[in-house]
Structures are given as structure tokens and as C-alpha cells.
Amino acid sequence: MPGTLYLIATPIGNLGDMSPRAIETMKAVDVIACEDTRHTLKLLNHFGISKKLVSYHEHNESARAEELAAILAEGGSVGLVSDAGTPAINDPGLILVQKARSIGAEVISIPGPVAFVNAAIVSGLPTDSLFFGGFLPSKQGERRKRLAEIASIPATLVFYESPHRIGRSLADCLDILGDRTASVSRELTKIHEETLTGSLSGILEHILSANSRGEYVLVIDRDRSGRETRSGSSSLQERVAELEAAGHDNRAALKMAAKEHGLSRSEAYRQLQLSRPGDT
Ligand code: SAM
């Protein structure tokens, strides 16, 4: 009978968040798969756990999943941890989970810290409906396009962001989503934990002037303007019309509106053509 894969959450900064069940499970499994063996060894040493570690990271995920699945197929048990937080949440895990399921192994989660849930609950924004978008694309055009796509989702939007991109991402959020209520958390569970709340513009100003370090979670309110968002082709059309009314010629207006929507000029042109009834 196949064995069990345990997805074990570990602290996102504060070792006090390691659960007794996580420790017990790490002690009990046959092998622990982890992103970085040196990093996880420190965690194991801290909690007096002695266990065989194998690396499982984004560059060897497929091959390692096969090897780990072979252990599961023989009835063995595997624990999977990431460097911080919950495995398979913007961390390696998915391929192994799929592999384990495909051979009939049990997959059990050992719950614990996850950054986006904790940032959402301290934000003061509604948590009845959350859209977790992981990391926004690193390229600006793709990022703006993604933001335009999700602008009208009726849920609180949550994103992970790295310290060197937080300013640029906030600026794009402000530009594409408008000046919504938002919250930015950094260093959650650590000594310098900080959550800034307010408008996107206010938070952006603070982040740019403070030059703080740390990893961020960005939480943004849903659209409350009641107007059509900028994501549809009709709003693209409206924006072109607005820019033309402001004195830009059609070519410049199309170029500017396309950039705001994260679209190429040809794609914006195509969408405009599609949105004009009878105009083929
Ligand atoms: N698996 C992790 C989890 O469960 O949250 C997420 C891993 S992802 C590679 C790393 C990102 O999570 C960081 O860039 C940051 O956006 C967020 N993050 C992780 N720890 C954090 C913390 N202590 N404070 C704020 N954000 C954190």
C-alpha cells in the first residue's frame, strides 16, 4: 500500500510558530524533502530533529518528484517543507502532490504559517472573499496587463512582492486599479513586523520615502467606484476618447491607452475594432 506525503508548514520568521504536530511529523517521516537543505537543517537542529534531507526545489522538482514517489509507492512516508511558510503556496510542491495522488498515496497537510492569510486578516479589509494572485509579473507590461485583467474581481486582492519591486508594483496598482484602500505588511511574525494601511497613493509615498527592507504582502480593496473598470474593451475605447478630448491625436491616444492597459498598440487597436459595432 502506498505511503503518505505530509505537506508541513514551517515558520515565516518566528520560530515560535512551529507547531508541535509539525515537529512530531518531521520526526516520524522517512525522509524530508526541502528547498534548501542547509536552511532546513538549521530548523531541524533548533528543534532537535535528526532526519535525512533531500533537496526539492524549482530546478529539480520533476526528477525529484519521481524519486520521492518511488519511496511513497513502497509504503514510505515523505515530509515536504519549503524555506518558509506553507509548501506549494508560491513554493515547490505541486508536482509532488500530483505525483503522490497519481500513485494513490495519501496527501496530508500539517497546517501552519502562510503569509498571505495573515496579511489579509490584519489589513482591516474584507476577508469574505479573497483573490490571492501570488507574485505579479516582474515585467511592467505583463504586470499592468494582469492588473487590468483582475481589476474588477469582487474580492480583496492579495499579492506577494519582493523588496526591490514593491515601489514599481504599487505604482502600477495605483495607475491601473485607481487609488483604492490598501494595506502592505512586511516582516510578518518578526521583530520589525509592520503593516501600513491607507490609500495606495499614501502607502506608495511612504514606501518610497522609508526605503524599508523585507518581504511584502500587498492587500488591496475591491473596486468600489461603481464605474466600469479599465479592463474591458469598452473602457479602452472610453480612455481613447478621453485622451482625444484632452487634445491628443488618435495615434497618441491609442498608444497611451494601450500602455495604461498593459497592451501592445496592435492588441489595443484590435480590441477597439472589436468593440465598435458594425465596424469590421
Ligand atoms: N510559502 C510561503 C507562504 O506560505 O507564505 C510563500 C513563499 S514565497 C516564495 C515568499 C513571499 O511570501 C515573499 O516574497 C513575501 O511576499 C511573502 N512572505 C513570506 N514571509 C513573509 C513575512 N514574514 N512577511 C511578509 N511577507 C512574507
Q: Which residues contact 79 (CB under 8 A, 6 or more apart)?
A: 6, 8, 25, 26, 29, 31, 32, 33, 51
Query: For a pocket test of ligand 1, which of 83, 94, 160 has the largest count of ligand atoms closer than 8 A to its C-beta?
Result: 160
Q: Whose CA is nearest to atom 13 of ligand 1?
A: 215
Cα 150 to Cα 121, 143, 229: the distances in Å are 21, 11, 10
Q: What are the structural domains, with CATH classification, of the chain?
A: 4-113 (3.40.1010.10), 116-220 (3.30.950.10), 236-275 (no CATH)
Cβ–Cβ under 8 Å, residues 93 and 121: no
For 65, 198, 265, 273, the CA distances from 277, given in Å and listed in that order, are: 52, 41, 20, 8
What pLDDT score does 51 carry? 98
Whether 165 and 197 have beta carbons less than 8 Å apart is answered as no
* Position with higher pLDDT, 53 vs 238: 53
pLDDT of residue 236: 75
In terms of C-beta density within 10 A (0-12 exposed, 13-18 middle, 19 or more buried), how is residue 245 classed? exposed
Q: What ranges make up the beta strands (E) of 31-180?
A: 31-34, 53-55, 78-80, 106-110, 130-135, 156-161
170 CA to centre of ligand 1 in angstroms: 17
State the pLDDT at residue 257: 79
Across 127-136, average pLDDT:
98
CA 20 to centroid of ligand 1, rounded, Å: 22
Query: Does residue 219's CB lie within 6 angstroms of at least one atom of ligand 1?
Result: no
Give per-residue pLDDT as tens, 70-110: 999 999 999 999 999 999 999 999 999 999 999 999 999 99
Give pLDDT tens digits for 9-47.
999 999 999 999 999 999 999 999 999 999 999 999 999
Does the CB atom of residue 91 touch ligand 1 within 6 A?
A: yes
For ligand 1, say whether the CB of 162 is within 6 Å of any of its atoms: yes
Residue 270 pLDDT greater than 80, yes or no: no
Rg (CA), the chain: 23
**C-alpha 45 – ligand 1 centre gap (Å):** 22
- From CA 169, how far away is CA 176, in angstroms rounded? 10
Task: Identify which of 8, 12, 110, 114 to mutate to test ligand 1's pocket (most ligand atoms within 8 A of the CB).
Answer: 12
Contact call for residues 144 and 262 (beta carbons, < 8 A): yes
| Total-model pTM | 0.83
Give the residue from 224, 222, 154, 152 showing the smallest Cα distance to 182: 222
* Contact (Cβ atoms closer than 8 angstroms) between residue 158 and residue 126: no
pLDDT in tens, 147-189: 999 999 999 999 999 999 999 999 999 999 999 999 999 999 9
Average pLDDT over residues 189-210: 95
Task: Identify which of 135, 215, 216 to mutate to test ligand 1's pocket (most ligand atoms within 8 A of the CB).
Answer: 215
Task: State in Å, rounded, how far the first CA of the chain is from the last one.
Answer: 62
Cβ of residue 187 lying under 6 Å from some atom of ligand 1: yes
Any atom of ligand 1 within 6 Å of the Cβ of 216? yes
- In the reported structure, the alpha carbon of residue 114 is separated from the centroid of ligand 1 by a whole-number distance in angstroms of 7
How far does the centroid of ligand 1 lie from the alpha carbon of residue 258, in Å?
Answer: 32
Q: Report pLDDT digits (tens) over 210-263.
A: 877 889 999 999 999 875 444 444 577 777 777 776 667 888 878 887 777 777
Q: What is the pLDDT of residue 279?
A: 40
| Ligand 1 center–CA 68 separation, angstroms | 25
Residues with Cβ within 8 Å of 68's Cβ and at least 6 positions away in sequence, in order, are 5, 31, 33, 54, 56, 78, 96, 99, 100
Could you tell me if the CB of 160 is within 6 A of ligand 1? Answer: yes
The closest-lying atom of ligand 1 relative to the alpha carbon of residue 88 is 1
Q: In what helix (H) or strand (E) does residue 203 lie, and over which residues does it extend?
A: helix 200-210
Residue 165, pLDDT score: 94
CB contact at 8 A, 236 and 243: no
Contact between 170 and 205 under an 8 Å Cβ cutoff? The reply is no
Beta strand spans in 38-174 (E): 53-55, 78-80, 106-110, 130-135, 156-161
